[in-house]
Structure 1
Amino acid sequence: AAAPPTPAPPRAFAGPCGDRYGDVLPYTDTLGSARDVAAIRAALGAEKINYFGYSYGTYLGAVYAKLHPDRVRRLVLDSVVGPDDVWYDANLNQDLAFNDRHRAFLAWVAEHDAAYGLGTDPERVEAAWYAMRTALAKKPAGGKVGASELEDTYLPGGYYNGYWPYLAEAFAAYAVDDDAGPLVEAYEDFGALDAAGDNGYSVYTAVQCRDASWPRDWDEWRDDSWGLYGKAPFMVWNNTWYNAPCAFWPARSRQPVDVANRELPPALLFQATGDAATPYEGGVAAHRLLRGSGLVVEDGSGNHGITLSGNACLDEHLAAYLADGTVPRGDGGTADAVCPALPDPEPLQSKAASTSSRGSALHGLLGFRG
């Protein structure tokens, strides 16, 4: 593959951001947000808070709990950020995990060859997907879906397998039927949502770049990215460019907060074994650092944000904890309780599935983007 362009785009983003908002950037980080939570609690006159966080929200909750362990009544962390990896290493770990999850999607497509006609061999289906990416780099579908947009479109499938049937139909329409229309529609439903979130991206970048030190030498980014690309080509460079402004960020970075906590009441953690956005090891690490916590694992799942999504086993543990503080206690293994994953979805019965159902499913899910 050809080398990516010089890092002018991230430098061009970081510089003007510092010029316009340099007075607030030193205060835009997770520690500042945790102090905001403390101020809200005090304003409401509440002695203690009940905190329920998904994805990035798990790190915010852990930081708040570190500052104010005596102010926590219940703490639920679902799909847990690895507290030892904030944030550069976390993104490298995501590259590997999202590639694995994308391959799981392609294997699912192969299992349903009768619906999609792409073959029963996962490796051949994978080759067809990358051939589609190569073709789109030369001739974007509908003049708008090139290789980068394709990755943005298929990234949500790494968060939630409920999108797989829609993504598979778009893939098959392009690769088998030579019809780019469904792929453009899928981009508008899934990929363009992230591309349109300028304010959300600005806040994301400001927090991530301030929270922890990032390499300032662009050669280190390039070497790490190329080192992973051969093993995990799905989103390495997409993810690198997404976070690249941190290499040039105008606000000085702080050291990550050490969230290890021996004073906190028992917390309850939920983690899927195949989670791509917050890989499984992060949940295990947080469980170790938060003394007295319980870890509930959804075995065989790769979804992100797993409670209140139809798995009764998970939700029973959640309800018991919220009601009276019950935390499962295991037998000394990594997990204190294990729930089997829900079955993967089936192909759509009709290709006329509504766009509105896709959009409502996506809304609010992608809180921590890789």
Structure 2
Amino acid sequence: MKRLVAVLVAAVLAASVAAVVGSGGAQAAPQAKALVPAFGWSDCGGGVECGSFQVPLDWSNPGGTKITLAVTRRVHTGATYRGVMLVNPGGPGAPGTGLADLGRYVPGGAGNEFDWIGFDPRGVGSSTPSLHCNSRYFGVNRPTFVPRTSRLMRYWLAKTGQYAAQCGASAARALLPHVATIDTVKDMEAIRAAYAAETPGTGTKLNFYGFSYGTYLAQVYATLYPSQVGRFVLDGVVDPVRYWYASNLQQEVLFDRNLNRYFQWLARHPRAYRLGTDWRAIRRGFNALLVKLDRHPSARGRLGPDELIDAMLPAAYYVFDWDGIGRAYSVLKRTGKGGAMFAMYAGANMGDDNGYAMYLATQCTDVLRPGWPVQRRDAWRIHRSFPFLAWDNTWYNAPCLRWRAPSHARIGITGAHVTSKILMINETYDAATSFSGALVARSRFPTASLIEGYKGTTHAGSLNGVACVDNRIGIYLRTGVVPARQAGTRSDIRCPRVPPPPATGLRTTGGGLPASIRAILTAAQLRG
């Protein structure tokens, strides 16, 4: 039996690699021989199996150096088997091996009819090699993001340029020219082909559940391999035209607006948060606090304005921890004690930099960005009206100015040749992936239907207890049926938004997903 599997893996991968890179089967053979068996699954607890999978470092040279992807799976338990479901949490730069359990939370047991595979994309997490540049890059009490003096401007340009140089000198620097989205998409196709060969009855198509950046992986995959598209769930849909620089600029506007929406929610609960009933006054107080922290940082000198901005950012991404952030911010604003606020910043930002390094490694090479004069002009222009994130986001992406790898040509996303139905999900006021961008993606994929979380601010929040959304995911995975497509540029059905938590000061909510999976998703998506 193993001999038969090895032969099938070799045959399928050779065909797959030839289709991807336009090379012959003879060039693919060395890769195929290395995969006996392809994944080497072994039990790693909780009903999940762990394995690994080798792919070429350079897909234009499939017989050359190999790298190893970490993979996990939970096999189907349902009576019906519908094939393999690959899942990606977003990013880029986020590990996905913790998401093999995701299918357990699809309503009606529909997820149990698939083998769910999580994977750490190339360069990420437990995949080897993985990129690390400077684990101390995100420090404490950093100089303010807003470069009102030439000295501050020089500081941030030097700091971000140095980080790019550190990545260029890292032990994993050979990855840098080979970690664009298209490289990961080719890895996904290789996983599909190998799993089909190794697992009889799997079927040939890829099923995929992608959050945030994972929806862009899905769009590129569908463009390159339209005949292999099975059931695709895209939650928090990336604009296929504006990526990445233009979408970053749009984010700066939308996150500022969502911060105001959050302050409106705090103002509706003055007894819980003790910040008053005027949200505009709360916003003015926040702006004044940034100035104060620049002069007198809180939390024993560790919480300056930059750290506060980063700690507040999740409130503009999701409703999940609105209560917890509100309580921590209230204490800081009223008493000056910033320990809880700093803990939120440190937990999300400090420590190992693999995720940030790989976020940059992908975004800096996916498509060419404009030069510094254009970026500086855009940052000041947006800062004048939407100051919350304009310079923060500019410096976050500034290492791309000095990145040590070339950029790719823009990919023309199209679903014109896709015949399978696709399910897209986006909330109206999602700031990370705008609703307008989701509509653009819908227009590129004639077989897609878009669920709108009406007037919601949460990014990629499916499977969190909104029955109107979650039940339709279950129906789609089981039957392939999506909401009827409506004429025009609009969503195809409106559902309630992910609701804010109770303003009790007692607990936060994460809806239907367990805290462990929600933590993986939020950590992944805060990078993008």
Q: Which TM-score band applies after superposition, normalised by the shorter structure? A: over 0.9
Counterpart of 1:312 in structure 2 is 467
- The offset of 1:172, in angstroms, is 1.5
The AA in structure 2 aligned to 1:260 is T
Q: In structure 2, the residue corresponding to 1:172 is in which secondary structure? A: helix
Deviations 1:240-275 (A, max 9, x none): 111001111121101222111111122110010010
Aligned mate of 2:480, from 301, 316, 325: 325
Q: In structure 1, the residue corresponding to 2:153 is in which secondary structure? A: coil
Distance 1:358 1:173, change over 3 A: farther
Larger Rg: 2
Aligned mate of 1:34, from 185, 194, 202: 185
Q: In structure 2, the residue corresponding to 1:338 is in which secondary structure? A: strand
RMSD: 2.0
Tell me, yes or no, if the aligned pair for 2:501 and 2:508 is still in contact at 8 Å: no
Matches within 5 A, 1:45-84: 45=196, 46=202, 47-84=204-241
Give the Cα–Cα distance (whole angstroms) in 2 for the partners of residues 253 and 112 of structure 1. 48
Counterpart of 1:158 in structure 2 is 316
The AA in structure 2 aligned to 1:61 is A
- The offset of 1:364, in angstroms, is 2.9
Distance 1:329 1:208, change over 3 A: same
Give the Cα–Cα distance (whole angstroms) in 2 for the partners of residues 352 and 220 of structure 1. 41
Matches within 5 A, 1:158-177: 158-176=316-334
Greater mean deviation of Cα atoms: 326-335 or 97-106: 326-335
Matches within 5 A, 1:86-105: 86-105=243-262
The AA in structure 1 aligned to 2:182 is L
Q: In structure 2, the residue corresponding to 1:305 is in which secondary structure? A: coil
Give the Cα–Cα distance (whole angstroms) in 1 for the partners of residues 255 and 516 of structure 2. 22
Q: In structure 1, the residue corresponding to 2:169 is in which secondary structure? A: helix
1:120 aligns with 2:277: yes
1:270 aligns with 2:428: no
Q: In structure 2, the residue corresponding to 1:224 is in which secondary structure? A: helix
Counterpart of 1:252 in structure 2 is 406
Q: In structure 2, the residue corresponding to 1:306 is in which secondary structure? A: coil
- The offset of 1:307, in angstroms, is 1.1
Counterpart of 2:95 in structure 1 is none
Counterpart of 2:168 in structure 1 is 18
Give the Cα–Cα distance (whole angstroms) in 2 for the partners of residues 17 and 343 of structure 1. 40
Tell me, yes or no, if the aligned pair for 2:206 and 2:228 is still in contact at 8 Å: yes
Aligned mate of 2:384, from 223, 227, 230: 230
- The offset of 1:41, in angstroms, is 1.1
Aligned mate of 1:110, from 267, 272, 288: 267
- The offset of 1:192, in angstroms, is 3.5
The AA in structure 2 aligned to 1:287 is R
The AA in structure 2 aligned to 1:5 is M
Give the Cα–Cα distance (whole angstroms) in 1 for the partners of residues 491 and 502 of structure 2. 29
1:241 aligns with 2:382: no
1:218 aligns with 2:372: yes
Distance 1:363 1:140, change over 3 A: farther
Deviations 1:267-297 (A, max 9, x none): 1100100101111111101000012111111
Give the Cα–Cα distance (whole angstroms) in 2 for the partners of residues 65 and 364 of structure 1. 23
- TM-score w.r.t. length of structure 2: 0.66
Structure with the higher helix share, 1 or 2: 1
Deviations 1:299-325 (A, max 9, x none): 010001121011000012111110111
Q: In structure 2, the residue corresponding to 1:202 is in which secondary structure? A: helix
- The offset of 1:35, in angstroms, is 0.4
Q: In structure 2, the residue corresponding to 1:214 is in which secondary structure? A: coil
Deviations 1:76-102 (A, max 9, x none): 100001111111111101101110111
Give the Cα–Cα distance (whole angstroms) in 2 for the partners of residues 152 and 77 of structure 1. 27
Deviations 1:27-74 (A, max 9, x none): 111000000001111111251111000000000111111111111111
Give the Cα–Cα distance (whole angstroms) in 2 for the partners of residues 350 and 75 of structure 1. 37
Give the Cα–Cα distance (whole angstroms) in 2 for the partners of residues 327 and 351 of structure 1. 35
Aligned mate of 2:496, from 333, 340, 348: 340
1:200 aligns with 2:355: yes
Tell me, yes or no, if the aligned pair for 1:52 and 1:77 is still in contact at 8 Å: yes
The AA in structure 2 aligned to 1:346 is P
Give the Cα–Cα distance (whole angstroms) in 1 for the partners of residues 508 and 463 of structure 2. 27
Q: Which runs of 5+ in 2 are unaligned?
A: 1-145, 197-201
More RCO (CA 8 Å, sep 6+): 1
Q: In structure 2, the residue corresponding to 1:196 is in which secondary structure? A: coil
Percent of aligned pairs sharing the same letter: 33
Give the Cα–Cα distance (whole angstroms) in 1 for the partners of residues 399 and 207 of structure 2. 35
Q: In structure 1, the residue corresponding to 2:320 is in which secondary structure? A: helix
Give the Cα–Cα distance (whole angstroms) in 1 for the partners of residues 515 and 270 of structure 2. 23
Distance 1:331 1:220, change over 3 A: closer
Q: In structure 1, the residue corresponding to 2:230 is in which secondary structure? A: strand
Tell me, yes or no, if the aligned pair for 2:463 and 2:470 is still in contact at 8 Å: yes
Give the Cα–Cα distance (whole angstroms) in 1 for the partners of residues 309 and 368 of structure 2. 27
Counterpart of 1:5 in structure 2 is 153
Counterpart of 2:195 in structure 1 is 44
The AA in structure 2 aligned to 1:16 is Q
- The offset of 1:198, in angstroms, is 0.4
Distance 1:359 1:172, change over 3 A: farther
Distance 1:287 1:28, change over 3 A: same
- The offset of 1:16, in angstroms, is 3.0
Tell me, yes or no, if the aligned pair for 2:329 and 2:341 is still in contact at 8 Å: no
Deviations 1:139-163 (A, max 9, x none): 2112211111101101111121121
Distance 1:350 1:327, change over 3 A: closer
Give the Cα–Cα distance (whole angstroms) in 2 for the partners of residues 326 and 179 of structure 1. 54
Give the Cα–Cα distance (whole angstroms) in 1 for the partners of residues 218 and 277 of structure 2. 44
- TM-score w.r.t. length of structure 1: 0.93
- The offset of 1:327, in angstroms, is 1.4
Distance 1:351 1:135, change over 3 A: farther
Tell me, yes or no, if the aligned pair for 1:152 and 1:191 is still in contact at 8 Å: no
Tell me, yes or no, if the aligned pair for 1:156 and 1:190 is still in contact at 8 Å: no
Greater mean deviation of Cα atoms: 133-142 or 28-37: 133-142
Give the Cα–Cα distance (whole angstroms) in 2 for the partners of residues 90 and 197 of structure 1. 26
- The offset of 1:195, in angstroms, is 3.1
- Matched residue count: 363
Q: In structure 1, the residue corresponding to 2:421 is in which secondary structure? A: coil
Aligned mate of 2:447, from 259, 270, 292: 292
Give the Cα–Cα distance (whole angstroms) in 2 for the partners of residues 352 and 80 of structure 1. 26
